Amino acid sequence: MKKISTLLLLTLLLITSCGEDADPLLPSQLDTSTPDLSELDKYIREEFVKPYNIRVQYVFDENEVAQERFLNPPRLESVKPALNILLTAWIAPYSEVAGADFIKKIAPREFTLIGSYNTNPSGTITLGLAEAGAKITLFNIDYLDFTDLNSINQPLRTVQHEYGHILNQTRPIDPSYKEINPGNYTAQWFNRSDAEARELGYITAYASSNSDEDFVEMIAEMLTRTRDEFDALVEGIINPQARAIIRLKETYIADYYQKSFGIDIYELQEVAHEKSQSLVN
């Protein structure tokens, strides 16, 4: 009995001795308030974040880009015009042809904007990058020339290319696309000119790197040209076999858009061209 009393006493001591009152929970020391938004921030919030859940990173952070590259932030005055290209000639055509929710449902979650070119030591220039279908980085937005449709088409082409990857990750292309002409795919694609690649049945030199890039390069080329311009490009190929191969790939792309998403790519092509043309000063 005495032992039990002792144990009870000990237990009480254990419980009560550590029962000192803890400090009351204090408010968070993290600043979670909404920062002051500039006019540019408000524009991004209204046009990209709210409707499409797309973040735009324009304030420079070296950690957002490859560590081995030497890049510079965009000028603030370059940001809105570059974003307007995306709104007008990428989002609006898809919304018009495929429905207002199309981009809302399938889209990259972030755009990072870089002012400078991304020049490689070899002298080639990287125009854009995509990471896992979630983030697209656009380079040299400080150098866009709004009097030149080709210059306006440059970031568009990057986005159409990277968006092609995202679409492909959502609804894969027919696997037989890979078998159309795999013979000349090469990691050394940069040793070819676009014209040389076309004579081998690839729409650009980069398209001859592998079948995935081949597929999205076709999309990018089709959606940044009119149908007549694209036809002229293909008809300019001397090798009839190469010409036929690219026409076959074009059929695959058109079928893919129609069957996977109910989109007539030629209608999308026409609207995209009208919109991008409207951006030329």
Partner 1 sequence: MKLKNTLYKIIFIFVMLVVVASCENDDDTVFDQTPTERKNASRAELENLLQASDGFKVIYFPKDSEYGGFLFYMAFDESGNVEMISNIDDEDSFGTSQYEVRSVSATELVFTTPNSIHKLSDNRTSGLIGTGYEGHSHFQFNTVGEGDSLVFSDLRSEGSLVFEPVGQDVIDNAIDLIAASRENRSKLASSEKSSVFQTLKFEVDGDEAEYDLNFDILKQFAEPFGVTEESPFGGSYDEFGIAFTEEGLIVSPAVSYGGIEFKEFTYDEEEDNFKSEVNGNTAIIGKADRPGFITDDYKDILDKDGGFPIFGYRPYSWGDNALTSSGFNALWNQVDANLANLGGGFMLEDFQFNMSNVEDGGCESYLLLFFRRLSDGGVFRADFCFSEATVVDKVIFMEYEGAASGNAAYIEADVMPLLNFFASEKGLVSTLEGSFSSNLVNYTNESGTFTSLDNPSQRVYVLYFN
CB 163 within 8 A of CB 245: no
Cβ neighbours around 167 below 10 Å, total: 21
Beta strand pairing status for 135-138 and 110-113?
A: parallel
Report the residue number, 65 or 166, with the smaller CB distance to partner 1: 65
Does residue 55 sit in helix, strand or coil? strand
Cα separation, 87 vs 16, in Å, equals 65
Site for partner 1, residues 72 to 91, rule: CB under 8 A: 72-76
Question: Which of the ranges 81-89, 116-124, 207-215, 239-247 carries the binding residues for partner 1, by CB under 8 A?
Answer: 116-124
CB 164 within 8 A of CB 216: yes
Cα separation, 42 vs 166, in Å, equals 27
Q: Does 179 bind partner 1 (CB under 8 A)?
A: no
Q: Does 102 bind partner 1 (CB under 8 A)?
A: no
Which residue of 8, 42, 46, 62 would you call a contact of partner 1, by CB under 8 A?
62
268, two tokens: 């999308």
Report the residue number, 17 or 176, with the smaller CB distance to partner 1: 17
Q: Does 10 bind partner 1 (CB under 8 A)?
A: yes
CB of residue 71 to partner 1, shortest distance in Å: 7
Q: Does 70 bind partner 1 (CB under 8 A)?
A: yes
> Which residue ranges make up the site for partner 1 (CB under 8 A)?
3, 6, 10, 13-14, 17-18, 20, 29-31, 59-63, 67, 69-76, 115-123, 142
